[in-house]
Chains A and B, each alone.
Chain A
Amino acid sequence: MAIGWYLTVSALIFCIGAVGVVTRPNPLVILLCLELMLNAGNLALVAFSRMWGGEDGQVFALIVLVVAACEVTVGLGMIVAIYRRQLPINVDELDELHG
């Protein structure tokens, strides 16, 4: 398959993730949609790596994987902390910086 097909799939996944981030009210689902967007970037990186014939893009993809794992860990920790303090798990109601 041509590389352009992979890039098209990557663009579509990125847009689906962006729509989810904008519309969904639950921070858990927003984190999931951020994962979708990061994975779309990963797919584009790996596709370009295949196009040029060097592994550098795959190295970048692995770094993105690490960053996504860190982001998920901290985000889920924040959601657990929000739940412990009996605040609503809804990004529209969590609009104050001070607790």
Chain B
Amino acid sequence: MSAVLFFIAAIGALAGAIGVVMLRNPFYNVLSLVCHLIALAALFLLLRAEFVAAAQVVVYAGAVMVLYVFVVAYVGGADEPLHRPGGALKVLGPLFGLAVAVELCIAVLGTALKGISGKGAPYVPGFGSPEHIGRLFLTTYLFPFEAASLLLLVAAIGAVVLARRRRGLEPDEELDPRMHPSRPVFTGTMAEVAGLRPGGGTGGRGTDSERQTEPIGAQTEIGAGTSRREGGW
């Protein structure tokens, strides 16, 4: 039974991996990586690593793949050539992969490790459970655990800094007149609702001659016009 499950999961994982490399559309690449990850989680379950399998499905197939799908949808997932136009790598790349595969298989087959042909250590109840993993994380591997949390924080901040809009590098989008139709001054603002400014609807103190129209954002452009073109980093 375990052998049948292993072969199903292994074939699924390998097929997913080949799909990631061979399919042309980035959307299909991401979807085939999701299949690969789920098959890999089944392999982890066969190896009695329940917590790692659950984390794999939740973190990878859930969160990271959603990020990938959003970025592919943002950038545009059109079909693309499978190889670079140069041509030499078309032959050398698979040859390189084949050489690495042969080398690794020689290493696995020719190893002197006795346990590699066995089914592993005898199973103790609770092996791979969250309790054992958490105990290891908070005792023996406390420093890697803290370093990993710091790394996550740095990566989150770095992604926000990298992907934010920068001034001066892109064409201005916020002054498009179709998106911002002109309206009377000080209408529809929070200040008018709060009664701080005389607006058209609240007090009726402003007459029509006083109102002039200007697009929203014109004031901010006058205010920030000097710093707008300085460029970001």
B-contacting residues of A (Cβ < 8 Å)? 1-9, 11-20, 22-26, 28-29, 31-33, 35-36, 39, 42-43, 46-47, 49-53, 55-56, 58-59, 61-63, 65-74, 76-81, 83-85, 89, 92
B contact residues, total (Cβ < 8 Å): 93
Most chain B Cβ neighbours within 10 Å, of A17, A81, A85: A81
B101 in contact (CB, < 8 A): yes
B33 in contact (CB, < 8 A): yes
Least distance between A29 CB and chain B CB atoms (Å): 5
B124 in contact (CB, < 8 A): yes
Q: A39-B40, A55-B136 are in contact. Are A16 and B74 (CB under 8 A)?
A: no
Residue of A nearest to B97 (CB): A19
> For the complex, what is the distance from the CA of A1 to the CA of B45, rounded to whole Å?
13
Is A18 in contact with B97, judged by CB distance below 8 angstroms? yes
Is A85 in contact with B68, judged by CB distance below 8 angstroms? no
A-contacting residues of B (Cβ < 8 Å)? 2-3, 6, 10, 13-14, 17-18, 20-21, 26, 29-30, 33, 36-37, 40, 43-44, 46-49, 51-52, 55-56, 59-60, 63-64, 67-68, 71-72, 74-75, 80-86, 89-90, 92-94, 96-98, 100-101, 104-105, 108-109, 113, 115-122, 124, 127-128, 132-133, 136-137, 140-141, 144, 148, 151-152, 154-156, 158-163, 165-166, 169-170
Q: A15-B100, A19-B96, A36-B17 are in contact. Are A55 and B127 (CB under 8 A)?
A: yes
Most chain B Cβ neighbours within 10 Å, of A47, A62, A81: A62
Q: Which residue in B33, B52, B75, B133 is a CB contact (below 8 Å) of A80?
A: B75
Least distance between A68 CB and chain B CB atoms (Å): 8
